[in-house]
Amino acid sequence: MSHVLLAAYRIRFPFIYAATVALIAVAIAAFIPMNDSARAVRTAIWGCAMGVLILGISITMLGGRSLPDRHTIAVTAPVRGRWLALNSPASAVPSHGVRAYGQTYAIDLVAEPLDRDRPEFASGPMMRPAPEYPAFGEPVRAMIDGTVVRASDWRRDHRARSHWPGLLYLTAEGAIRELGGPGFVVGNHVVIRGHGESRQVFAVVAHLQRGSVTVRVGDTVRAGDEIGRCGNSGNSTEPHVHAQLMDRASAWTGQGIPLEFSDITVGESEERITGMPQNEQHMTS
């Protein structure tokens, strides 16, 4: 039974799509006339919608518990310089609030160099041009030695959602992106499959700049090689690097693997460590 639940959990039937099906069914039912002949049909649609939603929630809860335990893997940081950690797995798991798309242990990194200011949220227009942020255009590097299995950089870089009205807009557009699948959520991205003992490890960097990816499927890379540049594509509030490890190439079915960065300093310390910064901590690589 656990294998069946885990399989259903992996194919993303749970919750997101169950909720979508339920909402569509309720919307359809709302247009059915309120008369005796149609009341039974309306009630049946509502009942089915609630049944699908409950089933999706149940599989999400039970299937997630069937996931195997994974040990933490040390990788090369995907950026160089001084970056701020947001949505870090060192502070909460799942780090982004959900386990979907393999992002259970994902981290977001925002550039905050000492020689250039990062625009403050709610201090200007609703949507700022992406180049105003120091992260935009910064090199992004491979986290592991491996082979490129996915590479995409055709999606546009949109403006940053830099004020509260912009975040409301992001919520609406994010729901639309969800219907399009993981590629529209993570934006431009590269997935690398590890070599040797790490063949079941897939390293992902996302929200890359349009046209910046320098590798193609089948290329062999080493950890630290530049593979693209930081952008603001996909479901992104401002230019940043989203990094995660998964147990397979597809974010549709991949599950997150715990990761930490090797050879970094955290906060004001000058000691180089292998670890992960917490939310609002600076990391220097």
- Amino acid letter, 281: Q
For residue 151, the Cα-to-chain-centroid distance in whole angstroms is: 15
Rounded to the nearest 10 degrees, the angle between the axes of helix 2-10 and helix 36-64 is: 110
Which of the four pLDDT bands, split at 50, 70 and 90, describes residue 234?
Answer: very high
Q: What is the pTM of this model?
A: 0.80
CB 225 within 8 Å of CB 182? no
CB 79 within 8 Å of CB 241? yes
Convert the pLDDT of each residue in 67-88 to its tens digit. Answer: 666 789 999 999 999 999 999 9
CATH class, domain 73-284, is: mainly beta
- Between 160 and 51, residue with greater pLDDT: 160
Rounded to whole angstroms, the Cα distance separating 115 from 196 reads: 41
Convert the pLDDT of each residue in 107-127 to its tens digit. Answer: 999 999 999 999 988 887 888
Q: What is the DSSP string of 51-70?
A: HHHHHHHHHHHHHHTTSPP-
